[in-house]
Each structure stands twice: as C-alpha cells, then as structure tokens.
Amino acid sequence: MAKVDTDIREQIDMFELEKQQQAVLTELLELCRASLDEVDEDHITKAFKLCCLSHEGVQRASGEPYYLHPVEVAKIMAGDFNIDDESVIAALLHDTVEDTSVTLDQAEEVFGPVVRHLIDGVTKISGVFESRDTKQAETFMKLILSMAEDIRVVLIKFADRLHNMRTISALPRQKQLKKATETMELYAPLAHRFGLFKIKNEFEDLCFKVIDPNSYKFIVRKLREKKKAREEFINQFMQPIQEELKELSFKFEIKGRPKHIYSIYRKMQRQQKPFEEIYDLFAIRIILEDPHKKEDCWRVYSIITDKYTPIPKRFRDFISVPKANGYQSLHTTVITKQGRKVEVQIRTRKMDDIAEHGVAAHWKYKEGKSGGSDTLDKFVHWVRDVLDSPRPDAATEFVKDFQLNLYQDEIYVFTPQGELKTLPKGASCIDFAFEIHSEIGERAVAAKVNGKMVPLRQKLHSGDQVEIITGNKINLNADWIEDVVTHKAKARLRQFIKQKELKVADEGRELWEKKSSKGKFEVSDQELMKVAHRFKFENTQEMFYEIGAGAFDVNKLYKVVKELKSKGRFDTEEQDDKVSGDDIQEKYISTARAVGDTKALLVEGELSGVKYSYANCCNPIPGDEVIGFISRDGDVKVHRSNCKNAHHLIRTDGERIIDVSWAKNIESQFLGAVKVIGEDRVGLVNDITEVLSKSLKTNMKSINVSSEGGMFEGILTLYISDLKHLEEIINRLERIEGVKNVLRYE
C-alpha cells in the first residue's frame, strides 16, 4: 500500500494513471455526466487518483486490484441513486481513512468539508454490522443518527455492501454465509424502509443465492425455460391496453418483468405450491410520462379493468394513502380470459423514480430539483423518534425492535381529528397511544375504536378511528409487553419493567446485607458472582432479584458463602474458561475431533472423527448446502444453510460455525418428507406406496393422509439417500394419475 504524505495535492497531481485505470476513470465520468445534474470532473478525477494511489498494490479476495471496489461503489451512487458528485467522491474514498494513511484533514483540504463529513460518517458506522450483537447499541445508534444527519452516508454504505454481495463468491463459504445473513436481516429491511425496492430485491436475491443455492438455481432455471412463453403472453396481454392509451394520446412506458427470485421462493413456501402453480410470477408496470398527474392513473386503471376482470381483494391505492417511505402507485390484479392472474401497477414517472430509488429520490427532490418533498422530513422524524425513545440495555432487543419496525406491513388509522397515522400491522391501541406521544402511552387507561369502548390491548385494522382516554397518573402495565409491536412502546415498557426489577433486586440485596452482617467475613462482588454462577444465575443482579421476589432463599446463599469462606475455597475456585473468536472454534473443534467416527461428514474439508448429529428443524440430506455448529460439548450439529435456526446461530454465535460438507459414496439413509396433493380416488394411496417400494426401492417411515372435498393431501416420511434420490421420488410421484403436486415438505 502506498504511503500518502502530508503534501497530498502534489502527490495527486504527480500520480500517473495506468492505461486500465484511465479507461475505468473515463467510464465513471461518462456515467456521472449521464446521471447527475452537476459534475465536478476535476474533483472526481483527483478522488479517483487518490483512491488508486492509497490502495496501490492491494488486492481483493478475488485477486483484482482493490481500487476497483470503491469505483464500483461510486458507480452505484451515480447510476443507481443519482445523488450528487460529492457522494461519488466520498464513495471513491470511503475506505481510505480507515484502511490507509490518508487522514480526514487531508481529504477536507482537497475536497472540502462535505466530503469529509460523508467519509467520516461511513467510517464511524463501518463496524455496525460486522460485529455480533453484544455491545452494539452504541454503534447501532451511530448508524441511525447518521441517517437523520445525512442520508448519503447510509446510501454509500448500501452501495458498499451491494458490491460486496455481488462479488461474494471469492470469499470462503463460512464468511459468505455470515455476510449474507447480516445482509438479509438488516440491510434488506433497511432498504425496504428507505423505499429502495430495486436495491432491496437485489440484496434478497444475492443472499438467497448464497444461503440456498439449490433452490435459487431451480427457480432461475424454471424462469429461463418459460421466458419465451412469458414474453409472448405479456405482449398479448399489453397489446389492447397500448392501443387504447395511444388513441387517448397518453405518453407512457410499459414494463413487464418477472418478480425477483426470492419473492417467488417465499410465495412457493408460504402457499406450499410448486413453481408451476405460482401464477402471478410477473407484474406489468405502466408508467405515465410527466406532465401526467395522479388523476390520469385512475383513467388508466379504468381502461385496464374494462379490458380484464379485476380481483377486488387485490386492489391497493397507495396514491391516496402513500406508504411510510413515500411509495405511491395503484396496484390491481386482473384475470385474463384464459384464467391467468396478472398484477398491474400504475404510476407516474416521478412515482416510479421514488418507488425504485426511495429516499435517494426524496433527497434529490428535497434539494429543489423537482419542487421538494416532505417524505424525507417524515423519514427523518421517524429516525429521530427512534432516537428519542427509551433505549433497552440489551443491544439485541434494540436491534430486534428496530428490525420489526423496518420490515412489517403497515396499517393506516386515524385520530379523532382525522389525522392519519401509519403503524406496523398487528399494532394495538397501546402502540397508537405511544405513537401520539410518550406521555399519552404512559397515562392511557382505555380506548375507543370507531366510537366503541375497547380494551387497550385490542389490535387495530386499517381505517380504524382511535381515541385514547388518559388518567392523571402513569398507568403502565408490565403485561402489555406482549401486546405491542412498535419499538417506542416496547422500549418504554422494558424500561418500566427494568425499573421494577431493579427495585426488587435492591430489596434482595438489602436482605443479603442484613444476613451477611451477622457473619464474621467479608465477601467481594467477584466472589458473589462465582456463587451466583454456581446457582445457575447469569449475574448477582438476577440472584438478588430472585431473593427480593421470594423465589430464592437468602439463607441458602448465606450457608454456601459461609462454607466456602471457612474452607478458603474461593481462592482455588476454577476461573470461567471463557474464550472468544478463533480460540473458541479451535478449542471445540479439537474436542469434537477426539470423539466418535463418521463416514458421511467432512469437517473443513477433512474426513475426521467428529461426533455429529442432524438438526431436526431442517433434516439435511446429502446434496443440501449445510453448515456445522459446534456445541459446548464438542459435538457438531448439522443444519441446512437455509434453515432459520442456522441464520440465528450465524448471527449470534458466528465463531462456532464451521464449514462442513458431504463425503462421497455415503451409504447411510436419511429422513426426509414429501407432501403429495391430488384428487381423492380409490387406490391412490396404494399406487403411491407401490411406486415407492417397487419402482424406487424406497422405505417409508410413516404416512399421514387427509381428504376433504374430493382432494387428497398426504405427508410421506421416507428414508432417502441424497438430494438426487429425493428429486427422483418427486418426479416419479408426479406421474401417478390424479396427483397434482409433489414437493419437499419442510
């Protein structure tokens, strides 16, 4: 890596670009000219040179020069977010201060205070997602605070992670899974909350490709196979609409494209249907060119519903009532004469820009280029609201609450004065009260919904008009914690519960101090902690709470402490053998390798003696992508990489995850299950069992069958050799007369 000295301007001017670097710079400048309103080409060129200079000789895991990464991040800022040239410069330099000898003062000297502010913001939040969730509240707060101060900081971080995900194949499998899980659980929902749907969809697809590559490849193959037929159908569907819109002199663009891969997978899982039976695989988008107004969207809706039959339950008006992130569009699903369902979205060009680029578009409009936007102000208010809420002590709770508020469906309710409030789906009257004001939530005693008295715990629905009745005193109830979904309500209730627990714990400590004062010994906090651990308490605070609540006898504690003191055993007590990071992995891997024997599992590429078992939550079979989790006993628990429990383990105990893979020529049988749906008829079960036993030589452990309304549904638990064997079973069962669907049962 090149050393950048104090005379930074001179070094930049003297730095000669190589031929490849000059070509990359030319491409970046062309993109900026095409995408941005104003471009300071001199500053961008200097930033590019400093990027190349400071990362000189450094390579990425893929082997390509490191400087190409910040360039790709800059391209996303210009081409996808269309923000400004200052954010492009900051993107080019986003790793320099953290990874090289360049300082913030030097960056400000050449590029000004705004670029310094952006680089500093990205540097400060760079560790938020990389560390695990312990001790993360403060860094997470920095991230949220940076959103309110300058949205460009977070957009650069999005662009950085997006390019990392696009190039993730160069990393080891374990690191791929960790990064993909982080991205799926925080970056994707944040992008959703920001209205960055294009970015969110790409995040989800890239993560899905890593976490469950087999399912990803399956859906991609199916989409490719149906591409020609899909395009013909879309053209046929759109033709009469296009003709009428042209007759009415509308200027418009029509897009027809498949839904993103992960959304198709989720629909298959949610509906428990095979790919062939997911009909609304694509959406038609009609974009009206400016100066069309929102009234024209309704005219187009009328034209479409004259041509095709709409499904009333699938109509959504996000124009009159936009989503919290500013998304506006009309959504409807119609049925063609052939019985196929098609989702249609209708919006203006400005609405489409906001739908694709979300808060990035709002930032651009806020700068005065298109008349301004108050949606960014609403978003900043939401961020500030989170900051003002009481913070739980545990970072895991804070992050969890925040994520819930990011990614939930929304409902729209009204105050008695008719003011619209947006809440997460599942919100109660208590959530509504805290949404109005923290003091209202604290003093709420009852509620009226649509004019009728209801319990405060009652869940709300879109369209409800809610009135909160308050008393003069704080009326918080610890049991409400189960009835609220918003971060603001949860955080205040946790604070209330914590205060009650502290009071009880203080009472427990007083009882102990009175008791211990009778003994002729002194006990340190460290010694009390050891005793607390002996009684299976996490800490002394938890022990004193149990004493104060009457659940743990203080005499029992006194007896043990007195005995340990009298025998002098505190000094020889074993220290907690807590280790972290690579030490934990090495310690437990060595323990695992010392026991058992296996012929099915490779640990870190080696066939070694590891005691292992397969997770019942996901039942992996050879051919599945799998990970190993090392227990504290040294055993390895094998999960499918797309298992929800595996995601949790990667996030919370990442150092215990190890790379495992299947050995070749495995002779064992594995439990798996398939779901069979078809027309109920005499002899169907017999045909299924005959195909399994005679044609496929497959043993069944159990069969669970139900029938209703002439339809048959069965869950078959089978002994399976590998994924190929399972696919063979599914394909063969699908050929039985009357069978409609066969799919792997989760």
CA 122 – CA 90 distance, rounded (Å): 9
* pTM reported for the whole predicted model: 0.67
The residue to which tokens 């000004």 are assigned: 112
Which residues are part of the catalytic machinery?
98-99
What value does the mean pLDDT take over residues 495-505?
Answer: 85
Instruction: Please report, for residues 107, 299, 311, the alpha-carbon distance to residue 342 in angstroms, rounded to integers and kept in the order given.
Output: 52, 19, 10
pLDDT of residue 444: 92
pLDDT of residue 595: 31
Of 404 and 62, which is predicted with more confidence? 62
pLDDT of residue 420: 77
- Residue 56 pLDDT grade (very low, low, confident, very high; cuts 50, 70, 90): confident
Q: Flag whether pLDDT at 446 surpasses 70.
A: yes
Domains of the chain from N-terminus onward: 8-218 (1.10.3210.10), 219-369 (3.30.460.10), 495-567 (no CATH), 582-662 (no CATH), 670-744 (3.30.70.260)
pLDDT of residue 46: 92
- Residue 384 pLDDT grade (very low, low, confident, very high; cuts 50, 70, 90): low
Torsion sign over Cα 208, 214, 217, 219: negative
CA 713 – CA 707 distance, rounded (Å): 6
The least confident of 79-93, 123-137, 509-523 is 123-137
What value does the mean pLDDT take over residues 137-151?
Answer: 57
Structure-block tokens of residue 466: 């809610």
pLDDT digits (tens, 9 = 90+) for 447-494: 999 889 999 999 998 888 999 999 888 888 888 988 898 878 888 888
Alpha helices in 421-486 (DSSP H): 429-436, 438-443
pLDDT digits (tens, 9 = 90+) for 327-369: 889 999 898 887 788 889 999 988 888 887 776 766 666 554 4
pLDDT of residue 578: 39
What are the strands, taking DSSP E only, across 230-277? Answer: 252-258
Instruction: Give the closest residue to 319 by CA, choosing from 353, 337, 296, 294.
Output: 294
Q: Flag whether pLDDT at 206 surpasses 90.
A: yes
What value does the mean pLDDT take over residues 228-238?
Answer: 85
CA 617 – CA 640 distance, rounded (Å): 9
Residues 6+ apart with CB under 8 A from 437: none
Of 74 and 37, which is predicted with more confidence? 74
Q: Flag whether pLDDT at 273 surpasses 80.
A: no
Q: Flag whether pLDDT at 372 surpasses 50.
A: no
Q: Flag whether pLDDT at 146 surpasses 60.
A: no
Q: Average per-residue pLDDT in the chain?
A: 79
Structure-block tokens of residue 643: 């298992």
